[in-house]
Amino acid sequence: MTCLFAVFLVFVISSPCLYARITHGKKYIFNVLDYGASGNGKIDDTNAFMAAWKKACGATGDTPTLLIPSGKTFKLQPVRFEGPCKSESVHVKLKGTIIAPRRDDDWKWSNNDRKTWIRFYNIKGLVINGGGVIEGQGDSWWSCKSNRKCDRPIALSIIHCPHLKLVGLTSKNSQRNHFSINHCNGSFISDLRIYAPGNSPNTDGVHISESAHIVIQNSHIQTGDDCVAIITGSSFINVTGVTCGPGHGISIGSLGRNGAYDTVEEVQVTNCTFIKTTNGVRIKTWKGGSGYARKITFQDIILQHVQNPVIITQQYVDYHSKNNHGSSSAVALSDITYKNVGGTSESEEAIQLNCDKNVPCTNVVLERINIISSNGGKIQAACQNAEGTFSSCMPNVPCLV
């Protein structure tokens, strides 16, 4: 009797799981080909993607998946994948290639948001993976150097998607930033491959803003602007195992533009390699801004022919822009550590700590720095208004106060 009851109980408990597992294979996969996508790289597949997304986002149950199959190329006009979705976690499996229309050919802005090509918005537990490719055809936009004039779009923008997982994608030739992550606490970003020419304008690799507890790891970034930029509202950010170059390095900022109050704190950049980049590890804030960047650590950094390996520019001024000369305030910089940074510098001033007279940088710590000249020349550090300590540094940093 007891035994029979136990068997019955086990059956009741396990059967829903069994049911979910059996149905998972088909029921929750929404293949864009089943919704009319052509995948020939020429016909606009936007409507098919929207129809499949609507189903995936509206599906209840276990990880509904929007499937973009391999071996095909899908052309998408500016497109919005929006939540909230019914499921706790929605997957986008990008196995094939998504390609943008060319600006000079058949690009169509469909609404008032002229900032983004592909946008994911307000989706909990979004997982984007699959090893596929996003091709922005940015060369059709780059000749227009002024963003204001031609609305060069961000290739992939992910906004309000907490617990995002973005893994194993390739982005090529983004029109502007490759990936922008905004308001996505608790996200994991890994194994990205990012490619654009070194002279392509504003093609930041990964842009993080207004997000806490983010890991970015094991990625190769070759682009025309910052490989990773950590901007306002970001905290507890780990960047590790990133190879950058060409590019402008890994940057905190810019912060404080046009008098903004901006904050960044608790950032760890570890085990990163810079190859022929303009900067290595950088902090950049604008004259006239306020707020802070603090508790920033750059550790285990390898430099190969880097123009400005270690650089803080606290009072950045753009002489083309009129309105940032007025105020003399500054974004406060403190608790900034450089540990085990080594390799070759293209410039003589391998370490530049340029801080403000009224708001000096405080507690700047340099330990085990070993930077030599790429061409056998002299190497030195330069500081203005930087307070802190150094030990075992080549070059020495006697300009710290």
Residues lying near ligand NAG in the complex (CB under 6 A) are found at 162, 185, 212, 215, 218, 235, 238, 241, 243, 268, 270-271, 273
Residue number with CB closer to ligand NAG (48 or 239): 239
Minimum distance, C-beta of residue 134 to ligand NAG, in the bound complex (Å): 22
Instruction: Please give the structure tokens belonging to residue 187.
Output: 């996200």
Which secondary structure element, helix H or strand E, spans residue 202, and what is its range? Answer: none
Write down the catalytic residue from 248, 305, 320, 325: 248
What 146-152 contacts at long range (C-beta under 8 Å, 24+ apart), as own/partner pairs, is 147/176, 147/202, 150/103, 151/109, 151/114, 151/115, 152/176, 152/201, 152/202
Q: How far apart are CA 348 and CA 382, in angstroms?
A: 10
Q: How far apart are CA 317 and CA 326, in angstroms?
A: 11
Active site residue 320: no
Residue number with CB closer to ligand NAG (365 or 382): 365
- Tell me if 398 sits within 8 A of 384, measured CB to CB: no
Report the b/e string of 311-350 with b at 16+ CB within 10 A.
Answer: bbbbbbeeeeeeebeeeebbbbbbbbbbebbebbbbbebb
Residue number with CB closer to ligand NAG (175 or 222): 222
Minimum distance, C-beta of residue 347 to ligand NAG, in the bound complex (Å): 24
3-state DSSP assignment of residue 27? helix
Q: Which residues contact 14 (CB under 8 A, 6 or more apart)?
A: none
Residue number with CB closer to ligand NAG (144 or 365): 365
Nearest C-alpha neighbor of 204 from the set 228, 183, 182: 228
Nearest-CB residue to ligand NAG? 241
- Residues with catalytic function: 248
